[in-house]
Amino acid sequence: MSRFSSSWAAGKPNVSATMVSTVTLFLAGCAVCIMPYWSSLIGQIILMAAFGLAISPFFSLTSIILCDILDLEALTNAYGIVTLVRGIASTVGSPVAGTIVSATSTFSIAFLLSGATVLIGGFLYIAIILHERAKLNKLIADADSDHGK
């Protein structure tokens, strides 16, 4: 449901897929950071649902964002590299979290670090948005200079 609705929203004329993904990535990171502090069953269910709804656009909008940044010709290679990096992160993440829990005897730090990495991803998406805007401004400036000739 979240993948469908985020894809629908990103398809609107004045909505950036990168912005949708950035906002939802921040929401997902916040949900992970809150998890150790809301320990009731109902609280965990709410946070897990919020995380699931918030993280899904990160995956479903990837190809659109890659096309916006790199153009269609580079999509297959870029998508392969992104998938490789995500796979490595998924493989390494659980053992690292387990090591953190073993070293600190608490789950809180592992959740906070995991949430922080998701939030860092959101900040990296802001860099992508700034890059997209600079690219758009350059295109507009080039079009204006060509139109004035």
DSSP states of 107-130 as a string?
Answer: SHHHHHHHHHHHHHHHHHHHHHHH
User: How many domains does the chain divide into?
Assistant: 1
pLDDT for residue 37: 94
Residue 13 DSSP code = T
148/113: higher pLDDT: 113
Q: What's the whole-model pTM score?
A: 0.82
Condensed to tens digits (0 to 9), the pLDDT of residues 19-30 reads 899 999 999 999
- Give the pair of three-digit tokens for residue 117: 């990495």
- Give the pair of three-digit tokens for residue 141: 């400036």
Query: Which helix H or strand E contains 76, and what residues bound it?
Result: helix 75-104
How many degrees, rounded to 5, is the angle at CA 70 between CA 69 and CA 75? 120
